[in-house]
Chain A
Amino acid sequence: MADIIVDARNLQCPMPVLKLSQAVSGAAAGQTIELVATDRGALSDIPAWSKDTGNPLKEQFEQDSEYHFVVEKA
């Protein structure tokens, strides 16, 4: 279970990335943040954001047509 859950379901681009980035900047280093989104663009946007900002993507899965991303704050 992640330390922080961010619900970005039903939100369109760019909100999932914005919500995740806000949650990560408010988190402490080492904390995990799980983003739940339904925007299909998030499938490529979140891994790209994670790579570019250096906050590693620890886990990614799809469940009940919802996309889950677990990011660790660097």
Chain B
Amino acid sequence: MTDTAHQAEPVGDKTTPEKEKMVIIAASGDLDKAWPVLILATTGAAYGMDVTVFFTFWGLGILKKEDAGLTGDDWRQKMLSMFHNASPSKLGLSKLHFAGMGPAMMRGLAEDHNVASVQELLEMAISLGVNLWPCQMTMDLMGLKDEHLIDGLSAPVGAGSAISLMKEASISLFI
């Protein structure tokens, strides 16, 4: 196989080659999942790929504003928001959480070792043109409104949009 064999060129129009696509489904609100989601998304964008991250279920917490406060209209949604008050600075660990000591230690370590924070990577992703898609169904389920989420996001979409994009993406990940 030659070096150029894998570089798929779109048929026909060579002046505006379509970018390769990468899709990540971010379904977890754990710090140890948010990190790889954003590291891979930003790196994909740095590779010149058209990257989209679809944030669903707990993953939506990554996009929540720090000052969103108690969200939801109904008491169950408010309970959810109270007991799972997610936002980039509050994400927990999937293991070794120890009532918040684990993530605090991990963030301290990351800072000491100059690992970019979730917030920094989010800003980087937005500036690199990564498409951040909130899941509309999860927003409805949790009673989240556009104003509870950070700026720079695409309009909320559903699973169909994610599937449609994954069908033509060269990299699709569920994290």
Contact = CB atoms under 8 A, between A and B. Distances in A.
A18 B114 contact: no
Contacts of B47: 21, 49, 52-53
Contact of B116 (A15, A49, A52, A53): A15
B25 interface: no
Contact of B114 (A10, A14, A22): A10
Nearest to A52: B47
Interface string B22-61: 0000000000000000010011011110000000000000
Interface residues of B, number: 13
Contact of B42 (A11, A12, A18): A18
Given A49-B46, A53-B47, A18 B128 contact: yes
Interface residues on A, range: 10 to 19
A29 interface: no
Contacts of A14: 39, 42-43, 46, 116
A38 B166 CA distance: 36
Contacts of B113: 12
A18 to B, nearest CB: 5
Contacts of B42: 14, 18
Interface of A: 10-15, 17-18, 20-22, 49, 52-53
